[in-house]
């Protein structure tokens, strides 16, 4: 018996040890995997965004026609800034519709609130949002516009994913931006198309009329399925 005990002890000592692989981290969430370097929120004179002739250069009425912005519709202006587009959309949808002016900059929200009082517009709701979530009510909007805003969104896939919850059936999302490299106040349109696909959208239409030099593009997205 002592010999058997000694033999077993020798076998245990000579056996190789077994190590179990450390648990792997889960793959990154598709809604947060994309992160872009952005500039600090603009804190200067917001009135510069209301430059004379901008309506004609952008063909803003044509933009609103394409996005289906008509009386009674609900619209979200994401990255509203000075409220330049907000007030135009508010007049389009009339008192029977609502415009959500969304921005991450408290100064922009204050500026828009004061502007709404001066222009006597009562169908606009301002939202101080998160950088990756517009904080819009669920099933609340028919049309969305990100006007020269997308290249400043640090987590675009997350933002677009959160936005989907707010979209009504048949809603359209418009993105107007400048072809660029992400660090020169612009982002390539193919990057926008790819990121929006990650967030569950498909490209419905694209246009180049929003600026004469063709550097600015206008993409219209709709949720997949």
pLDDT digits (tens, 9 = 90+) for 18-33: 232 333 333 334 444 4
Q: pLDDT tens across 116-166, in order? A: 999 999 999 999 999 999 999 999 999 999 999 999 999 999 999 999 999
Q: Which residues does residue 74 pair with via DSSP β-bridges, in sequence order?
A: 98
DSSP line for 162-185: HHHTTEEEEEEEEEEEE-SBSSSS
The pTM for the full model equals 0.81
Q: Which residue has 């004061």 as its token pair? A: 114
Average pLDDT for 176-182: 81
pLDDT bucket at 50, cuts 50 / 70 / 90: confident
- Between 8 and 62, name the one with better pLDDT: 62
Is the per-residue pLDDT at 60 higher than 90? Answer: yes
Distance between CA 162 and CA 157 in Å, rounded? 9
pLDDT for 6 equals: 46
pLDDT for 7 equals: 42
Average pLDDT for 104-123: 96
pLDDT for 215 equals: 83
Q: What does CATH list as the number for 60-223? A: 3.40.50.150
- Between 1 and 113, name the one with better pLDDT: 113
> Residue ranges of the domains in the chain?
60-223
pLDDT bucket at 3, cuts 50 / 70 / 90: very low
pLDDT for 148 equals: 93
Average pLDDT for 31-47: 58
- Between 52 and 125, name the one with better pLDDT: 125
Q: Which residues does residue 186 pair with via DSSP β-bridges, in sequence order?
A: none
Residue ranges with strand state E in the chain: 74-78, 98-103, 124-128, 141-147, 167-178, 201-207, 216-223
pLDDT for 180 equals: 77
Query: Helix-strand-coil percent breakdown of the chain, rounded to 5?
Result: 35, 25, 45
Would you give the distance in Å from CA 109 to the centre of its chain? 17
pLDDT bucket at 54, cuts 50 / 70 / 90: confident
The rounded mean pLDDT for the chain is: 84
DSSP line for 184-213: SS-B-HHHHHHHHHHTTEEEEEEE-TTSTT
pLDDT bucket at 51, cuts 50 / 70 / 90: confident
pLDDT bucket at 42, cuts 50 / 70 / 90: low
């Amino acid at each position: 018996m002592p010999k058997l005990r000694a033999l077993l002890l020798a076998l245990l000592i000579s056996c190789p040890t077994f190590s179990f692989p450390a648990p792997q981290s889960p793959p990154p969430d598709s809604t947060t995997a994309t992160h872009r370097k952005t500039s600090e929120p603009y804190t200067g004179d917001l009135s510069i965004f209301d430059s004379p002739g901008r309506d004609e250069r952008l063909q803003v009425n044509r933009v609103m026609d394409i996005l289906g912005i008509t009386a009674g519709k609900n619209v979200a202006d994401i990255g509203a800034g000075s409220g330049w587009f907000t007030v135009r959309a508010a007049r389009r949808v009339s008192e029977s519709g609502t415009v959500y002016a969304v921005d991450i900059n408290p100064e922009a929200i204050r500026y828009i609130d004061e502007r709404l009082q001066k222009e006597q517009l009562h169908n606009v709701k301002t939202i101080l949002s998160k950088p990756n979530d517009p904080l819009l009510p669920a099933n609340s909007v028919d049309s969305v516009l990100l006007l020269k805003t997308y290249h400043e969104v640090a987590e675009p896939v997350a933002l677009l994913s959160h936005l989907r919850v707010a979209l009504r059936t048949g809603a359209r999302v418009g993105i107007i931006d400048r072809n660029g490299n992400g660090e020169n106040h612009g982002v390539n349109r193919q990057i926008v198309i790819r990121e929006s696909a990650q967030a569950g959208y498909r490209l419905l239409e694209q246009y180049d009329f929003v600026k004469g030099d063709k550097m600015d593009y206008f993409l219209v997205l709709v949720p997949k399925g």
